[in-house]
């Protein structure tokens, strides 16, 4: 996993560079449609959205938010699930691509559909964790931001572990991610931070160039960029996962200081099963 951060960035931006060329454009168009539906839903439920914004602005106690707030957050999670499930088809392809395994569209779609409930559970858990952080941790945001970032890095590969057959459960995916990121969390965080900062700069520049006074046009451009960023993020995650997994398996096989990871993972060849209940590869 000792690659240049610029190499990770270059490969992740080339999200379209997969052996199965049809997957990136198809997933991108479906994501675009889902995000447009989310925007449409937010428009017809603008009163609930305004209630959420006003509550944050007023800095009221979030312990007992009103019903529209609950409905909006619940609807947001419901919409996020299909968007994530579709994007996981690309993530599955990216993982297989980086591992040099043979795959087809059917294999990637089948992998996601067979594990759809586990993937949905991971999406819900991560979404609820983020919502709870926003609602209840705003007064002590500075104190909690570092632990939240640390936990995010620890669990970054939960979906990858499920898609790659390293875990049979959602919680097993989280656990396996924690194991393979051990001793590399700082490196992963730096690479993710660096790449996201560069992407943010390009995004702001792009929005500035194509700036429009029309709110609808601006929203469509933002949704287009959001769909691109989703695939770029997945490509970067797949690259990091592949390198982290290769390094972890190398240590399990006796190459380097693998004793600590063996203890965390439950031993030698059975580590993957102990972590997530899945099969070893």
% residues pLDDT > 70 (the chain): 72
Q: Which residues of 95-105 are buried (b: 16+ CB within 10 A; e: fewer)?
A: bbbbeeeebee
Nearest to 160 by CA among 142, 179, 143, 146: 179
DSSP 201-228: HHHHHHHHHT--S-HHHHHHHHHHHHHH
**Look-up: residue for tokens 């609950």?**
70
Confidence of residue 205 (pLDDT cuts 50, 70, 90): confident
Q: pTM for this structure?
A: 0.77
Report domain extents, the chain. Answer: 5-276
Bigger pLDDT: 131 or 108?
A: 108
List alpha helices for the chain, DSSP H. Answer: 5-13, 23-44, 46-58, 67-98, 105-114, 116-136, 141-154, 158-163, 170-180, 185-209, 215-252, 259-265, 271-276
Question: How do residues 99-123 score in pLDDT, each as one tens digit?
Answer: 888 899 999 999 999 999 999 999 8
């Amino acid at each position: 996993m000792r690659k240049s951060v610029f190499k990770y960035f270059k490969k992740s931006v080339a999200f379209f560079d997969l052996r199965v060329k049809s997957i990136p454009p198809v997933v991108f168009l479906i994501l675009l449609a889902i995000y447009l539906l989310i925007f449409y839903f937010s428009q017809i439920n603008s009163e609930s959205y305004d209630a959420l914004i006003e509550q944050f602005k007023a800095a009221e106690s979030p312990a007992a938010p009103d019903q529209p707030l609950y409905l909006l957050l619940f609807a947001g999670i419901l919409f996020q699930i299909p968007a994530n499930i579709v994007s996981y088809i690309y993530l599955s392809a990216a993982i297989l691509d980086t591992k040099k395994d043979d795959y087809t569209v059917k294999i990637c779609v089948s992998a996601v559909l067979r594990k759809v409930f586990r993937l949905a559970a991971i999406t819900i858990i991560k979404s609820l964790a983020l919502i709870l952080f926003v609602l209840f941790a705003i007064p002590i945001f500075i104190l909690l931001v570092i632990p939240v970032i640390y936990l995010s890095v620890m669990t970054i590969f939960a979906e990858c572990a499920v898609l790659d057959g390293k875990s049979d459960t959602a919680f097993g995916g989280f656990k396996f991610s924690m194991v393979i990121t051990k001793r590399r969390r700082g490196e992963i965080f730096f690479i993710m931070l660096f790449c996201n900062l560069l992407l943010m700069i390009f995004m702001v520049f792009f929005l500035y160039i194509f700036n429009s006074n029309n709110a609808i046009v601006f929203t469509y451009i933002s949704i287009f960029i959001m769909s691109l960023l989703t695939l770029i993020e997945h490509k970067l995650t797949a690259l990091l996962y592949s390198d982290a997994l290769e390094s972890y398996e190398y240590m399990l096989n006796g190459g380097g200081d693998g004793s600590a990871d063996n203890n965390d993972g439950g031993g030698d060849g059975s580590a993957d099963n102990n972590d997530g209940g899945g099969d070893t590869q």
